[in-house]
Amino acid sequence: MEAFLVSTSIVALAEMGDKTQLLSLVLAARFRKPWPIVLGILAATTANHALAGAVGAWVTTVIGPQMLRWILGLSFIAMAVWMLIPDKLDDDETGGTPRFGVFGTTLVAFFLAEMGDKTQIATVMLAAQYSAYFWVVAGTTLGMMLANAPVVWLGERITRRVPIRAVHVVSAVIFLVLGLAALFAPAAGPLA
C-alpha cells in the first residue's frame, strides 16, 4: 500500500504545472468536451505508465541491489532538481486538426507528451524502488488523473489558485528525501 500512496502523491504533486497539465488545459479549451479528453488522458497514462513500470521492474533484475541503490538515490535527487525547472508546452503537441476525434487526439498527444516526462521517469524509478508493479502503476496513473482531470473541467480557475512554485518545491523536497533514503538505507534490495 505504501507503493500506491507514495506513487499517487509524488505524481500528483509532480504533475502540477507540468507540460501535460498544460496540455490538458489546451485540449479542454480547444475541444470543450471533457469526457473524451479525460478518458483519453486515462488511456494514454495507463499505457505509458504500464510501460514505464515494466522498465522499472526489469531494471531490478539486471542491476544488483548495491548499484540499484546508488542509481535510484541519485536519480531521485536529480528529479528533485528537475522539479524546480518549470515546464513549457511545445506548440506542436496540439497542432493540426483532430482527425482521430477528441479521444484519439488526446490519447496520442498525451502519450507522446508523457514520453521522457518527469512523471514517466518517476514511474520507472518508483517501480524499481518498490517490488509492487501494479500498485506503482495504479498510483502514478491516479496521481496523473488527480492533477489533470480537474484542469479539464475547471480549467484556468484551478491553475490560477494553486501556487505552482510551492507545489514544485514540495515535490522537490519529497524526491530529495526519497533519494537520501535510498542512498542511506541498508542495502537489502527493492522495498516491498
In a domain, 189, yes or no: no
In a domain, 72, yes or no: yes
In a domain, 173, yes or no: yes
Q: What is the pLDDT of residues 104-138, one digit of tens each?
A: 999 998 998 888 888 899 999 999 999 899 999 99
| Average pLDDT estimate for 34-51 | 96
pTM of the entire structure?
0.76
In a domain, 191, yes or no: no
* Count of the separate structural domains present in the chain: 1
In this predicted structure, the answer to whether residue 60 has a pLDDT above a threshold of 80 is yes
In a domain, 103, yes or no: yes
Closest to 102 in 3D by CA, of 34, 155, 22, 19: 34
Domain that residue 127 falls in? 2-184
In this predicted structure, the answer to whether residue 191 has a pLDDT above a threshold of 50 is no
- The Cα 129–Cα 115 span in angstroms is 20
In a domain, 190, yes or no: no
